[in-house]
């Protein structure tokens, strides 16, 4: 059974679990299924807007899809959220990703 199959099985029991959805999206992204990953990341932002890692990985996915403007917006939203939640490590990663994208 692949990791995707395992995650899908777990999600049947807990379809809104933030970590399981995040893990599935990153698996899809790693395999190049960017459209599937994007759908899941966007769902996560709707149902778990405080799951900060989503902002970073969705931003990276959008960069890969050459959607720079939307990636910037996602990073900025993540930065705002990380500041409010005092998530310094996530804040630093999001700020670095944003700066790199803006000055690349």
Q: What pLDDT is attached to residue 45?
A: 97
- Can you give the pLDDT at residue 8? 96
Asked if 58 and 74 touch (Cβ cutoff 8 Å), the reply is: yes
Q: Please write the tens of the pLDDT for every residue from 6-61.
A: 999 999 999 999 999 999 999 999 999 999 999 999 999 999 999 999 999 999 99
Residue 33, pLDDT score: 97
Q: Are 83 and 60 in contact (CB under 8 A)?
A: no
pLDDT of residue 104: 77
Q: 104: which DSSP letter? A: -
Domains of the chain: 3-102 (1.25.40.10)
For the entire predicted model, the pTM comes to: 0.93
First CA to last CA distance, the chain: 40
More confident residue, 104 or 74: 74
Nearest CA among 1, 42, 41, 47 for reference residue 23: 41
Residue 26: Cβ within 10 Å count: 19
Res 18: pLDDT: 97
């Amino acid at each position: 059974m692949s990791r995707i199959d395992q995650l899908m099985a777990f999600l049947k029991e807990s379809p809104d679990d933030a970590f399981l959805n995040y893990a599935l999206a990153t698996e899809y992204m790693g395999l190049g299924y960017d459209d599937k990953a994007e759908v899941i990341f966007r769902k996560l932002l709707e149902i778990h807007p405080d799951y900060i890692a989503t902002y970073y990985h969705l931003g990276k996915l959008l960069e890969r899809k050459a959607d720079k403007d939307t990636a910037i917006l996602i990073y900025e939203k993540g930065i705002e959220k990380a500041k409010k939640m005092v998530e310094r490590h996530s804040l630093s990663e999001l700020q670095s990703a944003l700066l790199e994208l803006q000055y690349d």
